[in-house]
Amino acid sequence: KNEVEQSPQNLTAQEGEFITINCSYSVGISALHWLQQHPGGGIVSLFMLSSGKKKHGRLIATINIQEKHSSLHITASHPRDSAVYICAVARGDTDKLIFGTGTRLQVFP
C-alpha cells in the first residue's frame, strides 16, 4: 500500500468550477507539500503545511493531522490551472519526501 494516496487520479472541470484534490497518508509527518507539475515536466512548490490552512491567491490548502488528510482547493478554476498536482509528505524522522502519484487536472474553457 502506498504511504501517500491521492484522489481522484484524474479530474476534469469546466472553467470557473471549484476543485478539490485529496491526499491521505499513513505515516507520521513533520510537513506536507503540495506541488504542481506542468505539462513540460517542471515542478513548482505550492504550499508547505504542518498544520491548519494556507491560502495563496485562488489556491487553498488544508491539513488535518489527526485524520492524516490534506486537501487542495482551487477556486474559480481556469484552463491555466491544468497540470498534475502532487502531494508529498516529509516523515518526521527523515529528510526524504514521499510522493503521491499525482492528480491530473484538466480545466476546459
Partner 1 sequence: EPEVTQTPSHQVTQMGQEVILHCVPISNHLYFYWYRQILGQKVEFLVSFYNNEISEKSEIFDDQFSVERPDGSNFTLKIRSTKLEDSAMYFCASSPPGTSTDTQYFGPGTRLTVL
Contacts 24+ apart (CB under 8 A), 43-52: 43/86, 46/72, 46/85, 47/72
Binding mask 85-104 for partner 1 (x = CB under 8 A): -x-x-x---xxxxxxxxx--
**What's the burial of 27, exposed, middle or buried (CB within 10 Å: 0-12/13-18/19+)?**
middle
Compute the distance between CA of residue 77 and CA of residue 90 in angstroms, rounded to an integer.
28
Question: Is 106 a binder of partner 1 (CB under 8 A)?
Answer: no
Binding mask 45-84 for partner 1 (x = CB under 8 A): x--x------------------------------------
Binding mask 20-49 for partner 1 (x = CB under 8 A): ----------xx-x-x-----xxxxx--x-
Binding site for partner 1 (CB under 8 A): 30-31, 33, 35, 41-45, 48, 86, 88, 90, 94-102
